[in-house]
A and B are shown apart, each in its own frame.
Chain A
Amino acid sequence: MSLIEQLNSIFCNVFKNPNLQISPETSANDIDGWDSLTHFKLILAVENNFNVSFNTRELMELKNVGCLIQLIETKITQ
């Protein structure tokens, strides 16, 4: 499964929407219910799934799914 497919599956779980389709351009404005609580759950799920940990500066710079993919890739290769 590609990274974005894995992420898609996490998004579906967090937002309780099995039909959700994300792209690198997807941001909080595009998904109904993306509030502080779901954002929190999403980040924790990503950290757990990829066994990575983000610091606050990295979290601050996340603007969309593309940024998240880049960050995960950087973390995995470190």
Chain B
Amino acid sequence: MSSLSEIITSSLQKYNDRPAIWVDDCVYTYGDLSYYINQIRNVLHQQLTSPALKGERICIWAYRSIDAYVGILSGVLSGMPYVPLNPRFPDERNLSIINRVRPKAIIVDKNCEDAASKILPTIKFPLLVFFPSYTQKPKWCSLIKQHQFFSQEELISYPLASISNLEVGSVVNTDSSDMLYILFTSGSTGEPKGVVVSHGNVFSYVNGINTISDCHYDDRYLQHIDLTFDLSAHDMYCSWCSGASLYVTPHNLILFPNRFISEYKINKCMLVPSTAGVIQGHNLLFPNSMPSLKYTFFCGEPLTGSVVNGWQKSAPSSIIYNVYGPTEATIAFTYYKCTGDSVDRCLPIGKPLINQQVIITSSSETAADEIGEILLGGSQVALGYWENEKMTDEKFYSHSGKRWYKTGDLGKLDPNSQDIIFLGRSDRQIKVRGFRVELGEIESVIRKIAKTYFVAVLGDSDSEYENVLGGEGYLNVVALVANSQESKENIIEECKKILPDYMVPSQVIFLKEFPRNSNDKIDYKEITKIYYKNKNSSSISAHNNVI
């Protein structure tokens, strides 16, 4: 089989009676999935007329529910790229994504209906709105004339199209370069940017992961990470391509993955290191408490030896990989096999997955351990940024028959092992609880709210977790502001309306004056020094520069 949709379709047929998804305490078989997917595809194909629907976007406004996965698979098998939204995002951010991708269809579940009821009336272009879990559509739908709404009843009773078009096994022909999903990540200019990933990108990724881990239909994958973060695609596609099952962590168990893994006998998981770090910080990684776990993938942040050692004791049968890769290179691009006696430092990110290539810009034969920018090349490199040709051209290029992405990450090669060592960012991007955050985006938002240029945002963590988080991993952000008449409380409240929760500053600190460098620009190094020096000496407010 040569395409992602063909493999998934094969799983839907072959594993018809086997469990595909555990979510909200219910198990859905691959047969159940096929039934629900076909209901939506039946409407999509008739309303949008195949093959005109190919390339049209479908938004997923559903959170940790069966509707989310049915919506995603309906898109995948119809050649429609899906765009996840997130109820943890403010309405304004979800609306901005919808307006930018102009979808033809949208899936809404009970966790997101409230926000949808406010936002859908403001969208002028017509949408097909699906409520797959609603027996009847919500009453507010009748007030909106520009969209068509479909409840479960209406999906079931919708006239069937020519069955040949919808049989499980018939998918819209997809090329490897067709868009699979668009994920919006933090953008330094203040606007999130949409990374467009293709069917071929994920197909290559799954092949790469298969070469370093055994995949079997008996596997139970933990689906722990939100759909708006591309690590979630690892669990979905590795699982669906092998006929395995996906176990979706309930939202109020996000920091209890160890208990969930243990009780539901999960054997494969992808986590961000800070999740394990927080659990470890509370001494909750008990010996052999996750005996079922066979593979753990840590990604999204620097991984410390201390976290690996703690996790390995708790999951003694697990192989632990430190994997690395930006959304632009599809989930993860390099891997490093960790050992349970890792030294307590940030671990290497290893070597590229099969058929992918990494270059460190300044490396040469004479200076093998020179620091440079990490460049990623191969079939996992994404198509580019949604409707942003300029930025796509800046960050992506073709060379030697391969597509390349300039990560902006710094690294060097270990001259002995040839493993790549990650050394941080060349710009002001950080990771907060694994989420990629451009500090410039938050600053841009606060500058508008606080009506001042003098804003600096920094990564921050509770001191109790500092020893288990890697050098670039943070739990919160803090904002330092000068020359503003706005109150701290108002700045935070306004940020909540615009930014996802992990980008809202946990505190705002007013400075009397802002340190500037010799070019009269904001001196971030000095501000960072002021913050940390005073944070560690009991109170930031002790500093004479703080109002």
Seen from chain A, the residues whose Cβ lies within 8 Å of a Cβ on chain B are 35-37, 39-40, 43-44, 55-57, 59-60, 62
Contacts and interface: CB of A to CB of B under 8 A. Distances in A.
Given A44-B282, A60-B25, A39 B263 contact: no
Interface residues of B, number: 16
A43 B253 CA distance: 10
A59 B259 CA distance: 10
Nearest to A39: B252
Contact of A59 (B25, B256, B278): B256
B501 A59 contact: no
Contact of B259 (A36, A37, A55): A55
B278 A37 contact: yes
Contacts of A36: 254-255
Overall SS of chain B's interface: loop
B382 interface: no
A37 B252 contact: no
Contact of A60 (B253, B255, B501): B253
Nearest to A55: B263
A75 to B, nearest CB: 15
Output the residue of A35, A37, A56, A59 with the most chain B CB within 10 A: A56
Given A56-B253, A59-B252, A60-B250, 9 more contacts: A36-B255, A37-B475, A39-B252, A40-B254, A55-B263, A56-B256, A56-B259, A56-B264, A59-B259
B260 interface: yes
Interface string B206-222: 00000000000000000
* Pairs of residues from A and B, 5 with the lowest C-beta to C-beta distance, nearest first: A40-B255, A36-B254, A60-B250, A56-B263, A56-B259
Interface string B433-462: 000000000000000000000000000000
User: Most chain-A Cβ atoms within 10 A of its Cβ — which of B25, B252, B254, B501?
Assistant: B252
Nearest to B492: A32
A65 B25 CA distance: 22
A40 B501 contact: no
B260 A39 contact: no
B51 to A, nearest CB: 42
Contact of B278 (A40, A56, A60): A40
A60 B249 CA distance: 10
Interface in B83-124: none
Contacts of A37: 255, 278, 475
A61 to B, nearest CB: 9
Interface in B242-271: 250, 252-256, 259-260, 263-264
A48 B204 CA distance: 47
A59 B263 contact: no
A60 to B, nearest CB: 5
Contacts of A35: 501
A62 B256 CA distance: 14
Contacts of A55: 259, 263
A57 B252 CA distance: 11
B37 to A, nearest CB: 26
Contacts of B256: 40, 43, 56, 59
A59 B253 contact: yes
16 contacts: A35-B501, A37-B278, A39-B254, A40-B256, A40-B278, A44-B284, A56-B253, A56-B256, A56-B260, A56-B264, A59-B252, A59-B253, A59-B259, A60-B250, A60-B252, A60-B253
